[in-house]
Structure 1
């Protein structure tokens, strides 16, 4: 994977916070922290996109003839099958 060097600017408070995380052993340097934030943001945004797509699919599929009782029964059966 190619590495691209970037320059970013922190406030004193942000810099102190990042340094404290490094001192506590959560990260080895500033870059590792920033990369972790980007990875987590990418994951979060993907979950949002996936959820929106699922919602649209549900809306477009129209009303269901399934009853609440049958949904609960199916959920309980699936749960019990996992044990």
Structure 2
């Protein structure tokens, strides 16, 4: 596995250290790799949703634009306006 040297801000390092200290992860590297896997999975899900929105938009399933649907979704999920 390729080795990398990265720096963390103090707050982020505290979070990583706490996770390792609680034995949730065996090392910071394991935790960072897990976070990257989660981010990749989340991006994959976002890409799928975006494709479905575009498909719906093109099939006249909805009159709302992709941006309007995403805005509504964010509002429901995160309480944004």
Please give the TM-score of this superposition, normalised by the length of structure 2: 0.69
Alpha-carbon spacing, 1:61–1:11, altered in 2? closer, same or farther (3 Å): same
The number of equivalent residue pairs is 62
CA positional deviation for 1:63: 4.1
Alpha-carbon spacing, 1:26–1:7, altered in 2? closer, same or farther (3 Å): same
Unaligned runs of 5+ in 1: 65-83
Runs of 4+ in 1 over 3 A off after TM superposition: none
Q: Tell me whether 1:35 sits opposite 2:36 in the alignment.
A: no
Deviations 1:32-73 (A, max 9, x none): 010011000001111110000000011111248xxxxxxxxx
Alignment of structure 1 residues 1-83 onto 2, 5 Å: 3-63=1-61
- Larger Rg, first or second structure (1 or 2): 1
